[in-house]
Amino acid sequence: MCSYSIIYFYQYHIVKKRIAIFASGSGSNAQKIMEHFKYSDAAEVSLVLSNNPEAYVLQRADNFEIPTHVFDRHDFYQTDEVVNILKRLDIDLIVLAGFLWLVPDNLLQNFPNKIINIHPSLLPKFGGKGMYGDRVHKAVLAANEEEHGISIHFVNERFDEGEIIYQARFRIEPGDTLEIIKFNGQQLEHLHYPKVIENLIKKYN
């Protein structure tokens, strides 16, 4: 095979890595991830899953023509339905983006070190069961913290205790309100989460 033919072969036969996103709500982070990988040669969002049939993230996925799947608590915790779907689609990385349920053991065992989450605080501070969204930001303000930020981490069997992959932070200024620190945190999430995912995907090659 000549060098041109080899180049042509690899250009058109590179298999993209496949990402599945889990989300429970609006899905603003999911939106940024779908935008980031829409024209990527390295990876694609292959499926969006939700435990909430009314979640707006499902509409966001539809706008990108990405398949969706909705499951209930029984399907998630008592069966292998979700695991089997992910395996049939050859999913390489599972991304939690505002997903509020604890990941079950069967998912962790079938996708070791391939499930990541983003949390709106500088873990280990302000993490754990029940700590999400405004609850986190209110706790940060109540504690008079001088800085705030985000953490991207691997997922294990406990809420927000997996190995930290990346953190970004910002200073809380005197007079900052809940809406201000929430906005600043979301800006960091939207900026860094897609990039961290891309870097992880490259390591899987």
pLDDT band of residue 139 (cuts 50, 70, 90) is: very high
Residue 154: other Cβ atoms inside 10 A: 17
Does position 118 have pLDDT exceeding 70, yes or no? Answer: yes
pLDDT (tens digit per residue) in 2-31:
444 444 444 445 689 999 999 999 999 999
pLDDT (tens digit per residue) in 38-88:
999 999 999 999 999 999 999 999 999 999 999 999 999 999 999 999 999
Task: Evaluate whether residue 26 is within a structural domain.
Answer: yes
- What's the domain range around 98? 17-203
- 3-state secondary structure at position 192: helix
Task: Evaluate whether residue 67 is within a structural domain.
Answer: yes
pLDDT, residue 56, reads 98
pLDDT band of residue 187 (cuts 50, 70, 90) is: very high
Task: Evaluate whether residue 174 is within a structural domain.
Answer: yes
CA distance 12 to 10: 5
Please state, for a pLDDT cut of 90, what percent of the chain lies above it.
Answer: 91
Residue 45 sits in a domain of what CATH number? 3.40.50.170
Half-sphere exposure of 20 (CA within 13 A, CB side): 25
pLDDT, residue 107, reads 98
What are the CA-CA distances from residue 45 to residues 75, 91, 179, 200 (Å)? Answer: 22, 9, 30, 14
Task: Evaluate whether residue 12 is within a structural domain.
Answer: no
Task: Evaluate whether residue 167 is within a structural domain.
Answer: yes
* Residues recognised as catalytic: 119
State how many domains the chain has.
1
Is 0.75 surpassed by the pTM of this model? yes
pLDDT band of residue 204 (cuts 50, 70, 90) is: confident
pLDDT (tens digit per residue) in 92-117:
999 999 999 999 999 999 999 999 99
pLDDT, residue 205, reads 62
Q: In this structure, are residues 35 and 66 in contact, taking their beta carbons and an 8 Å threshold?
A: no
